[in-house]
Amino acid sequence: MVLRISRNILRTEASRSLSTSTSIFDNIKLKIASALTSSLSTTDRDRLLKSLNINVSMQDQQHLDNQHEENVQQGKINNSIGEAVAAAIAKEAAKNKTLAEKQKDDIWKQAEMATMERVKNDLLIQERKLAMERWQKELEAEKKRVAQEEINAPTVEGDGNEDMHHPVLGPTVVDLGYKRVHLASAQALSSIPIWEKQRVYRHDRAKGMASDKMKSLELGLPGIIAIHESVDGRLSILDGQHRVGMMTILQGKANDGHLQLNLNRILVEVFPQSSSATDDHAKDIFTEINKAEPVKLVDMPGVAKVQDRRIINDASSIIHENFPDMFKPSQRCRPPHLNVDNLRDSIFAAGIIKKHNLKTKNALLQWMLEKNEELGNRYRKDDSHPNVSETAMAKAKKFGFFLGLDAAWLYE
């Protein structure tokens, strides 16, 4: 039975890449970005689209897939929380054969809206950058004309306080130099990508948090969302991605009027990277924030290779999806259950990728499924395992999943 499940999983993955939803988002992004930039000059439009890693010459899906793969290899693909939530909901809907087609259409409309918000905000940031560049050129030209060492900078529009109002995050509450504090909306936050070296977004964790929050609305929303702002103005979430995912889920209830919680004033701290800061600015901030938190070794910046982490993440996600009853959100779960983040970290710590020369997610998946098959045969032949309870053994046999009974298989 386990071998049959293993083959089915591998066949499914051979025909359905995990990047499918991202590729679909790329297609939507191209369509939306082209529409939103149609009123710009050709020069500004091309610069904006290029800054978003969008190739306007892409005409068919094959070109789109090639561009997507290139972006993945270069570490450019990083969808927003809203897109991640929409993709997770769409994936769940795709598995539900009884779900009405209209409901599925509505779900994909939500996905398109999430991508539209992401692209619109990216465009706002890039337009702001272009305006600042034009302002700088005007200022330099004015300096040359007047030939003075110091002159008052001309305003671009209004009173020159554009920096006090961010196009995505809204007004600045306080500017401490090394960071700014904003009160942003949950909808705006859902359009911001996760920092590319951040731990993997887990939709089941965000769903659990949303369910718990519905029971404790009187507590409000403790904590603060940490965001990095690169030199060119790009935003990425450093800390709080699952809280943003939770708020994105709750936003639907708020829109229906069934949620007594203000999601329009979320406390956000932004760490802007100055032109003189090192390339490790985001990494340094992330490390500083998480010093007191149990960040997994595999998620620490600079520890795991990007390719190895992607292989581990993808293979672990596939196992998680195909044996959902055997995984728990808590990292303190007991046998026969596993926590997906613990599994990822254990695979990395045991050096599985290097030891077995695994080059792809399917290679690692195949290796794990074979180990599961070996453990299943071993436990079925011999029931005398003093360290495994009868209840744990019964559930492992019921679902054909034995990797959570002990960790010895990682080192065999």
pLDDT band at 409 (very low <50, low <70, confident <90, very high): very high
pLDDT band at 234 (very low <50, low <70, confident <90, very high): confident
Same domain, yes or no, for 168 and 266? yes
Q: Does residue 37 have a pLDDT over 90? A: no
- φ/ψ region of 134 (left if φ > 0, alpha if ψ in -120 to 50, else beta) reads alpha
Q: Does residue 21 have a pLDDT over 70? A: no
Most confident of 3-17, 47-61, 84-98, 140-154: 84-98
Mark which of 229, 263, 293 sits at the end of a domain. 293
pLDDT at 71: 45
Angle of CA points 293, 295, 297, to nearest 5° = 145
Cα distances (angstroms) measured from residue 54 to each of 57, 59, 120, 293: 9, 12, 14, 36
Q: Does residue 16 have a pLDDT over 50? A: no
Q: Does residue 18 have a pLDDT over 70? A: no
Same domain, yes or no, for 87 and 205? yes
Mark which of 263, 293, 323 sits at the end of a domain. 293
Report yes or no on 63 lying in a domain.
Answer: no
Same domain, yes or no, for 219 and 343? no
Report yes or no on 392 lying in a domain.
Answer: yes
Report yes or no on 324 lying in a domain.
Answer: yes
Q: Which position has the higher pLDDT, 245 or 155?
A: 245
Report yes or no on 21 lying in a domain.
Answer: no
Summarize pLDDT for 128-154 with one digit per residue, the tens: 666 656 666 665 666 566 555 544 444
Q: Does residue 24 have a pLDDT over 50? A: no
Same domain, yes or no, for 337 and 243? no
Q: Does residue 125 have a pLDDT over 70? A: no
Q: What is the mean pLDDT of the chain?
A: 75
Same domain, yes or no, for 115 and 83? yes
Q: Are 118 and 43 in contact (CB under 8 A)?
A: no
Q: Which position has the higher pLDDT, 261 or 410?
A: 410
193, β-bridge pairs: 80
pLDDT band at 65 (very low <50, low <70, confident <90, very high): very low
Domain that holds residue 313: 306-411
Q: Which position has the higher pLDDT, 62 or 324?
A: 324
Same domain, yes or no, for 107 and 164? yes
Residue type, 99: L
Same domain, yes or no, for 285 and 348? no
Same domain, yes or no, for 339 and 242? no
**Chain CA centroid to CA 108, Å:** 18
Report yes or no on 59 lying in a domain.
Answer: no
Report yes or no on 200 lying in a domain.
Answer: yes
Q: Which of 46, 344, 48, 348 is nearest to 201 (CA)?
A: 344
Summarize pLDDT for 329-342 with one digit per residue, the tens: 888 899 999 999 99
Report yes or no on 4 lying in a domain.
Answer: no
Mean pLDDT of 199-215: 85
Residue type, 133: E
Q: Does residue 266 have a pLDDT over 70? A: yes
Q: Does residue 180 have a pLDDT over 90? A: yes
Residue type, 368: M
Same domain, yes or no, for 320 and 273? no
**Chain CA centroid to CA 140, Å:** 40
Same domain, yes or no, for 113 and 147? yes
Report yes or no on 3 lying in a domain.
Answer: no
Mean pLDDT of 179-203: 85
Same domain, yes or no, for 260 and 121? yes
Least confident of 75-79, 208-212, 403-407: 75-79
Mark which of 230, 259, 293 sits at the end of a domain. 293
Domains contained in the chain, number: 2
Mean pLDDT of 57-61: 42
Q: Does residue 399 have a pLDDT over 90? A: yes
Q: Does residue 43 have a pLDDT over 90? A: no
Same domain, yes or no, for 214 and 261? yes
Q: Does residue 7 have a pLDDT over 70? A: no
Q: Are 359 and 312 in contact (CB under 8 A)?
A: no
Q: Which position has the higher pLDDT, 9 or 248?
A: 248
Least confident of 17-26, 191-200, 403-412: 17-26
pLDDT at 360: 94
Q: What's the whole-model pTM score? A: 0.53
Mean pLDDT of 371-389: 84
